[in-house]
């Protein structure tokens, strides 16, 4: 059993509000956890460097190819072998960017569930995975080709129970239309408030979470009243809706990288997608800025797997986009660490640097509280105490 002392670092633990200088911590290399042991076998001097917890990305689609060369997000043609191949590759790209835990919110063939189990057993070196399996959507709704199509409270409850029987950690719900699929808009109401509430009740009965894809104002409010744990995207927010987030303590997972990636590549994408994405970008940025400034809880997520929304860079980019929208650097670091850990219900093992938690951390040359782009630069990533090569 080897224990390694990392000394003299400047550390953001996830709980402090600035980097603490001269911080020492010990990693048990066998268990992959931070420990309080004083007897160590080796020492690493991190003087002049900055350390933060590994990032947590609360919104991914690891079975998708953002460049649509192998399998497009939501395509019925995605096979289990293809999806697994993509997921294994995408997980390594996430690790290299500093992401050590994810929540996947739209898989196929239960690939996320299977890989989550392998990672927990120690057979797969990858970010920890909170799995949602296949989403629930109305017939013909958002993501319908790769989801359970459900209509009415009884069907929603039935398939929520099917997902829970399979072992999902979270149930993903489609409350509105969106950008990536034709024939719908972000304002379209899809699963109704009673339908959403039925799934949330089933998830919460089992101690699991439920989240909702919701972009238009009415759909967001439906999801909030239904009791979801987080709203994904939250594009169109008014003051009333922001107050509802504050009253209920519900998280927003902004995914600003999704429209940003589309809008950087307009000439290579379908007109319907580009038109919707360009049309909502300013509203999305304004909404997330207002929510952040009002104190709504944020958790970082990218929606990686959507068009041109990559896994190797966009988690660290998402932090910059959140700051540009109006969140503070501290809010953003918390969104990517302790907040996301609390949302995903993994705060007992991830999201902060403290004893008995997984030794997931990032070593940086510069201070991201001074310049959030520091996380985009060269960095050293550790997952359960092992350096990511």
Instruction: Spell out the residues 6+ positions from residue 183 whose beta carbon is closer than 8 angstroms to its own.
Output: none
Q: Is a pLDDT exceeding 80 seen at residue 77?
A: no
What confidence score (pLDDT) does residue 262 get?
98
18 pLDDT band (50/70/90 cuts)? Answer: very high
Q: What are residue 118's phi and psi, to 5 degrees?
A: -65, -40
114-140 mean pLDDT: 98
pLDDT of residue 71: 78
In this prediction, residue 38 carries a pLDDT of: 84
Residue 300: the pLDDT is 99
Q: How confident is the model at residue 73 (pLDDT cuts 50, 70, 90)?
A: confident
Confidence category of residue 200, pLDDT binned at 50, 70, 90: very high
What number is the average pLDDT over the span 250-264? 98
Range from 69-73, 96-100, 200-204, 338-342 carrying the lowest mean pLDDT: 69-73
Residue 75 pLDDT exceeds 80: no
pLDDT in the model for residue 64: 96
Of all residues in the chain, the percent with pLDDT exceeding 90 is 97
- Give 33-68 pLDDT, tens digit per residue: 999 988 999 999 999 999 999 999 999 999 999 999
Over 80: is that where the pLDDT of 76 sits?
no
Whether the pLDDT of residue 78 is over 90: the answer is no
Q: With 90 as the cut, is the pLDDT of residue 182 above it?
A: yes
Would you state the pLDDT for residue 74? 74
What pLDDT, on a 0 to 100 scale, did the predictor assign at position 54? 98
pLDDT of residue 163: 98
Q: How confident is the model at residue 176 (pLDDT cuts 50, 70, 90)?
A: very high
Residue 366 has pLDDT above 90, yes or no: yes
Q: Please provide the average confidence, as pLDDT, over all residues in the chain.
A: 97
pLDDT at 203: 98
Task: Give the mean pLDDT of 69-97.
Answer: 90
- Dump pLDDT digits (tens) for 278-304: 999 999 999 999 999 999 999 999 999
With 80 as the cut, is the pLDDT of residue 312 above it?
yes
């Amino acid at each position: 059993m080897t224990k390694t002392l990392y000394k003299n670092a400047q550390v953001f633990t996830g709980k402090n509000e600035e980097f603490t200088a001269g911080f020492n911590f010990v990693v048990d290399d066998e268990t992959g956890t931070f420990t309080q042991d004083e007897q160590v076998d080796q020492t690493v001097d991190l003087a002049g460097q900055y350390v933060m917890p590994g990032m947590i990305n609360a919104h991914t689609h690891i079975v998708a190819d953002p460049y649509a060369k192998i399998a497009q997000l939501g395509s019925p043609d995605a096979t289990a072998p293809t999806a697994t191949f993509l997921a294994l590759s995408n997980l390594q790209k996430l690790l290299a960017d500093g992401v050590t835990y994810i929540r996947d919110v739209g898989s196929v063939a239960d690939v996320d569930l299977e890989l989550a189990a392998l990672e927990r057993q120690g057979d797969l070196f990858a970010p920890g995975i909170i799995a949602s399996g296949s989403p629930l959507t109305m017939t013909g709704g958002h993501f319908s080709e790769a989801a359970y199509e459900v209509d009415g409270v009884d069907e929603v409850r039935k398939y929520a129970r099917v997902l829970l029987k399979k072992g999902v950690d979270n149930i993903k719900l489609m409350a509105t239309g969106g950008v990536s699929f034709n024939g719908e808009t972000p304002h379209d109401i899809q699963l109704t408030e009673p339908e959403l509430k039925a799934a949330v009740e089933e998830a919460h009965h089992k101690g699991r979470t439920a989240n909702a894809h919701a972009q238009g104002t009415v759909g967001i409010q439906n999801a909030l009243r239904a009791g979801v744990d987080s709203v994904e995207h939250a594009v169109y927010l008014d003051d009333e809706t922001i107050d509802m987030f504050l009253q209920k303590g519900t998280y927003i997972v902004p995914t600003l990288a999704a429209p940003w990636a589309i809008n950087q590549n307009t000439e290579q994408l379908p007109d319907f997608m580009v038109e919707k994405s360009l049309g909502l970008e300013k509203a999305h940025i304004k909404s997330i800025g207002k929510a952040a400034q009002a104190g709504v809880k944020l958790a970082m997520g990218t929606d990686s797997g959507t068009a041109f929304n990559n896994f190797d860079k966009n988690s660290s980019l998402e932090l910059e986009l959140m700051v540009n929208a109006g969140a503070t650097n501290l809010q953003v670091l918390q969104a990517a660490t302790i907040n996301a850990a609390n949302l995903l219900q993994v705060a007992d093992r991830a999201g902060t640097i403290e004893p008995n938690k997984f030794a997931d951390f990032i070593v940086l040359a510069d201070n991201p509280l001074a310049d959030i782009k520091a996380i985009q630069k060269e960095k050293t990533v550790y997952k359960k105490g092992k350096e990511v090569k």
